[in-house]
């Protein structure tokens, strides 16, 4: 019978990404409820040393697939290796990160294992011995509770939502042969162009300062950049601002952009069109600064300021600077 709660850990350039610890902690919690073990699949080249770090967050067994063919990440190779070890061990539950790589791998694996997958979950629990995964649909306009009838029951977890909690276990590291058939790998990463701004991705940022039509033009964003710098956050944008060419597409928050859930989302000059609200409503705290007291964004805000953002934002930057000094 299928048992065990497994994760696929995510590493890049030889370091585990934060989502891996969020996955490990969540898997630990589910495994304790089921009275079973936590397994982690770790794939890459020269990465065996990372296994102990997963133990720190509650993993009992780390299955290490170490091969030059697994670095850099290519969907087919990782899916092949993960599917092999999963089929050999038959876990009941399998969690991945809803990061770019995690989603790419999770969906391919769901196809390979012919099982059900709930994408981008914000809550997972055990109900009647089965995984119940809660996820936003229609970009958060409603939520679905997903139950999977096949094993492993798969879910990908939204980054930044599940806490990473230390829970030290003596993780046992188990090497396995990923058995990559090179003839079947049709894709090749030719180049990795790193973003040199030093900023994390919007979906991984704890603080997002976002601007909309009210910014009046691309130059208006300078004051948002300053506030974001003070708060060690990133700048986001509404669809209106991106479509106007004021900000790059990767900054767009909303139903046709990124869905984000930072600790703090500061919406400046954003009225709150439903398709924008969909992308940021799961933020822990929301501040809205807008001249229009009737703007729908205020209905979602924890703190609202009805005023000219060009006057409020620089003052907010100063006030934060003082508090953080």
Find out whether the peptide bond into 225 is cis, omega within 30 degrees of 0. Answer: no
Residue closer to other proteins (CB basis): 5 or 19: 19
Q: Which two tokens stand for residue 75?
A: 């969907």
CA 168 to chain centre: 23
Backbone angles phi, psi at 222, to 5 degrees: -55, -40
CB of 263 to other proteins, least distance (A): 5
Residue closer to other proteins (CB basis): 54 or 202: 202
Question: How many CB atoms sit inside 10 A of residue 100's CB?
Answer: 12
CB of 248 to other proteins, least distance (A): 9
Q: Tokens 């497994």 identify what position?
A: 6
Find out whether the peptide bond into 152 is cis, omega within 30 degrees of 0. Answer: yes
Residue closer to other proteins (CB basis): 26 or 148: 148
Question: How many CB atoms sit inside 10 A of residue 301's CB?
Answer: 19
Question: CA 282, CA 305: separation in Å to the nearest integer?
Answer: 20
Alpha carbon distance, N-terminus to C-terminus of the chain: 57
Residue closer to other proteins (CB basis): 169 or 300: 300
Question: How many CB atoms sit inside 10 A of residue 156's CB?
Answer: 27
Dmax (CA) for the chain in angstroms is 63
Residue closer to other proteins (CB basis): 58 or 279: 279
Q: Is 129 helix (H, G, I), strand (E, B) or coil?
A: coil
**Residue 254 and residue 139 in contact, taking contact as beta carbons nearer than 8 Å:** yes
Residue closer to other proteins (CB basis): 25 or 290: 290
CB of 47 to other proteins, least distance (A): 18
CB of 77 to other proteins, least distance (A): 11
CB of 45 to other proteins, least distance (A): 17
Question: How many CB atoms sit inside 10 A of residue 195's CB?
Answer: 9
Residue closer to other proteins (CB basis): 25 or 281: 281
CB of 20 to other proteins, least distance (A): 13
CB of 171 to other proteins, least distance (A): 26
């Amino acid at each position: 019978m299928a048992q065990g709660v497994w994760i696929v850990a995510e590493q890049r350039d030889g370091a585990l990404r934060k989502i891996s610890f969020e996955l490990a902690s969540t898997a630990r919690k589910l495994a304790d409820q089921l009275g079973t073990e936590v397994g982690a699949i770790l794939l890459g080249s020269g990465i065996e040393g990372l296994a102990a770090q997963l133990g720190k967050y509650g993993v009992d067994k780390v299955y290490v697939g170490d091969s030059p063919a697994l670095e850099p990440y290519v969907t087919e190779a990782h899916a092949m290796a993960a599917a092999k070890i999963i089929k050999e061990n038959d876990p009941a539950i399998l969690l991945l990160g809803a990061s770019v790589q995690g989603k790419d791998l999770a969906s391919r694996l769901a196809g390979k294992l012919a099982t059900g997958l709930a994408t981008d979950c914000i809550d997972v629990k055990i109900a009647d011995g089965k995984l119940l995964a809660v996820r936003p649909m229609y970009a958060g306009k409603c939520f679905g509770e997903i139950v999977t009838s096949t094993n492993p029951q798969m879910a990908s977890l939204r980054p930044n939502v599940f806490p990473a909690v230390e829970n030290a276990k003596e993780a046992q590291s188990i090497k396995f042969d990923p058995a990559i058939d090179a003839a079947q790998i049709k894709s090749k990463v030719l180049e990795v162009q790193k973003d040199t701004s030093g900023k994390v991705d919007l979906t991984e940022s704890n603080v997002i300062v976002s601007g909309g039509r009210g910014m009046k033009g691309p130059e208006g964003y300078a004051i948002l950049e300053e506030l974001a710098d003070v708060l060690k956050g990133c700048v986001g944008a509404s669809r209106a601002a991106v479509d106007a060419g004021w900000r790059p597409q990767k900054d767009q928050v909303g139903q046709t952009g990124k869905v984000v859930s930072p600790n703090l989302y500061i919406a400046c000059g954003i009225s709150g069109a439903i398709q924008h609200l969909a992308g940021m409503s799961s933020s822990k705290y929301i501040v809205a600064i807008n001249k229009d007291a009737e703007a729908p964004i205020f209905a979602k805000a924890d703190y609202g300021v009805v005023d000219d953002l060009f006057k409020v934002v620089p003052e907010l930057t100063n006030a934060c600077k003082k508090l953080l000094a």
